[in-house]
Chain A
Amino acid sequence: MSGTVLAPMSAAPRGASARLMRRPLALIGIALIALVVAGAVLAPWLAPYPPEAQHFDGLTIEGAPLPPGGAYPLGTDLLGRDLLSRILYGARTSLVIGVVANGMALTIGTLVGLVAGYFRGWIGAVLMRFTDLMMAFPALLLAITLAAIFTPSLWIVAMVIALVNWVQTARVIYTETTALAAREFIAAERALGAGTGRILWHHILPHLVPTIIVWGTLGISTTVLLEATLSYLGVGVQPPTPSWGNIIFENQTYFQSAPWLVFLPGAAILLLALAFNLVGDALRDVLDPTQRGQD
């Protein structure tokens, strides 16, 4: 999770990773994430077919997609492409979006919220009014505009999603930082002569880790689905490159007759979000020194 990358080392109680490993739910989460990463990395070897290949025998006589089973383990889509192969390759896109775009959004949001919340004054006012403006602006419209300006590629889409998604994080971090900055131990630090950088990095950021983790795990599914929406509108990852989101959107009209086309990639998104959620919850507890000895 990018939250832990952000957190300074002093935030981690000694033996945190060992204690993480003792939590069964965290282990399940880690295993699920490993599974998705392995699927994405090993897609060329694991996938039975190339993801873009349209198979003549992948459709029924009437031209309907095939249900799971037989030569196509998870069935085929509208164009007779193998769903398993598309989901495996799609994991690459979705992981990049869910981890990179989401991580970028968290970083921007945390920085803006932290600076605005600690300094208040005119810096805070400018940053937060800008955040409010972004919040009021329809996210989709903004994403479409941005995606239209830049030629859509996976990384551009990730950037666009990050630029749209940091806003909520910034608001929440701002509120928490203002409360933290008023706490007495911050006054104590200032009385010791600690500089702003030190206070922000060593004394405020560690307290924000739980919030960052919660928003990070929530952000996984939001960003993956936003990518799907963008793909659907033609400004996301360009077809025929698969992503979990665009598999759902391409096939949603056939939800009645071929539910697996929506259900299976949907389950993949759910699983990924759940996995990060489990790890995130465990991380939050393990990193909290007051929770020690309660595992």
Chain B
Amino acid sequence: MTRSGAAPAPEIAKAGPVLSVTGLEVSVNTEAGLHPLVTDLSFTLMRGETLAIAGESGSGKSITALAIMGLLPPPAVRLTAGTIRLGTRDLTRLGEAGMRAIRGDRIAMIFQEPMTSLNPVLTIGTQLIEAIRAHQPMSRARARARAVEALGAVRLSEPARRLGQYPHELSGGMRQRVMIAMALALRPEVLIADEPTTALDVTVQREVLDLLRDLQRDLGTAIILITHDMGVVAEMADRVIVMQSGRMVEEGPTPAIFAQPRAAYTRALLAAVPRMGAGAARAAVDLTRNRVLGRPDPARLHGDDAGPVARLEDVRVRFDLKGGVFGRVTHGVHAVAGVSLAIRRGETFALVGESGCGKSTIARAMVGLVPHQGLIEIAGQRLATNDAAALKALRRRVQIVFQDPMAALDPRMRVGEQIAEPMVIHGIGDGDARRARAADLMARVGLSADQAERYPHEFSGGQRQRICIARALALQPDLIIADESVSALDVSVQARVLDLLAVLKRDFGVAYLFISHDMAVVENIADRVAVMYLGQIVEAGSREQVFGDPRHPYTQRLIAAVPVPDPGHRRPPAPRLAGEVPSPVHPRGRGPARRVLHDIGHGHLVAEGD
């Protein structure tokens, strides 16, 4: 960022409060009366500072943001007490027309999902120019110049050309930059960023956070950063407010909160955050504990059946794109372009990579949900999608747990029935035996048997994922594929589900293929790791090899991009990648260049080139 002149002098930037909230209370009107969502929240935001509001889902952090913006969803949710002062004005008394003048102009907001906050049928330019002209009357040409300048400020390449593009033509990270450009084009005093990087890949998240920090330094904007990610908090915030079920449990400067958390909840929250580098220590503890408990040796458990539980050899998955007048196949999306790996019995094999790298496609191919080329072998049996009986038999050996448990459970079926269903499908036991086993499985994943009569919507996110795990275990598979299974969960819940997976692995001798974008989680639980990029593996090996000695530049970049939950370790801005993300789409008859993996010692495989 090389904009000069626009930056106000630092002493002005740090002077006095810009926004103060006192005794804020927001309630939702239910049939049982008013139910508070946020109670007695007070804080002040200083000019030029970054205040993080951290908390898990349901803590009221997003509701607070909406209350400040005057965007609480009417008529059920409304502000029932307190004041919100911007300078000397009380925003709670302003009314809708007054708020409209404030919004965008003096307080701007960016949301989690940039695709939904941009209008898909209008060009970026139209939306940006309109947002500017709505608040500052100026000619279209001047607004356009301002828009180009704003897009340049968020480091979008070719800003003038971007104005003519539609939101779907941009990647997620680029869309979020457009949102930031829109928010900052009018130089607001306050920017509210509600989970601005949660939907983005780590390397992109890194760039967006760097960008926000630079812009704040140059423009002196005060930022309220709403996030569940303590790593992002440590990286960005000057002060932190920790919220739990609508109340502030702790407030203080970031270093103090991380060094000496006073509230028990803050301590629990920080303890649950997966940290890079903690994996090795944890494994050591695990080993001693297992020796005491007499962990069954996986090889012994399965007798002479010592081969890998799953073996993939040159697996390819291609989706055809049709085009032209006759709807012929013109291009192919090479989602998986030649992946070979073997998962041993009883181990946790992690597949990491960013969105679109093909990791979930591999998961779906391995349970026969998408057709593949090449060889997939589960427990020595070749998986063939055209043989229904063999496929059904194989499904007793491999099961999958999806990312979003609410989507993966039938909302109209009782959970007890859903857990018992695999046994019904495969004709195992009679009604009573199935019910008993379902109750047993529910107990194993930490649910009580009387909850079997309930429906999925009556459970929390973490409980729903436990139900999915219980369902996957019902057939006693050799391998469970966990496709981003903990990504949608709050950190504390995530930690408990990961513990559960570890216990089940020990008790049932099951192997996991753990698919994730979260390097810190993977580093904590995996025995072996493969890093995927654009449908191919670029590096594979044991956890110690990949995380302790990352050799491929992509692996190094991924690891470096993970936010560290320690304010003492603020990293310098990451070197940015030039140009666009390469695409897995190739014309028909052509495909991506195959990467060649070399063993650099003890099974540590690294691809050549970038």
Contact = CB atoms under 8 A, between A and B. Distances in A.
A68 to B, nearest CB: 45
Contacts of B409: 185, 188
A64 B311 CA distance: 90
B410 A185 contact: yes
Contacts of B413: 10, 202-203, 206
A10 B417 contact: yes
Interface string A64-101: 00000000000000000000000000000000000000
Contacts of A193: 391-392, 395-396, 422, 425-426
Interface stretch (B85-93, B345-353, B400-408): B400-408
A222 B407 CA distance: 37
A63 to B, nearest CB: 61
B400 A11 contact: no
A290 B411 contact: yes
B369 to A, nearest CB: 6
Interface in B193-250: none
A184 interface: yes
Nearest to A198: B425
Contacts of B369: 187, 190-191
Determine the main DSSP class of A at the interface with B.
helix
Contacts of A202: 410, 413
Contact of B412 (A189, A198, A207): A207
Contacts of A187: 364, 369, 402, 408
A288 B367 CA distance: 31
Interface string A251-295: 000000000000000000000000000000000000011101000
B408 A185 contact: yes
Contacts of B453: 14
Given A191-B395, A192-B399, A193-B396, A184 B422 contact: no
Contacts of B496: none
Interface in B367-388: 367-369
B471 A184 contact: no
Contacts of A206: 410, 412-413
B43 interface: no
A187 B367 CA distance: 10
B31 to A, nearest CB: 8
Interface in B240-289: none
B404 A184 contact: yes
Given A289-B455, A289-B457, A192 B410 contact: no
A35 interface: no
12 contacts: A10-B413, A11-B412, A188-B409, A190-B368, A191-B395, A192-B395, A192-B421, A193-B392, A193-B422, A198-B425, A203-B410, A206-B413
Interface of B: 364, 367-369, 391-392, 395-396, 399-400, 402, 404, 407-414, 417, 421-422, 425-426, 453, 455, 457, 468, 471, 475
Q: Which 8 A-B pairs rank lowest in CB-CB distance, beginning with the nearest?
A: A193-B395, A289-B455, A184-B407, A191-B367, A193-B392, A188-B408, A206-B412, A192-B422
Given A190-B369, A192-B395, A193-B395, 20 more contacts: A14-B453, A183-B407, A184-B402, A184-B407, A185-B407, A185-B408, A185-B409, A185-B410, A187-B364, A187-B408, A188-B400, A188-B409, A188-B471, A191-B395, A192-B471, A198-B425, A207-B411, A288-B412, A289-B457, A292-B455
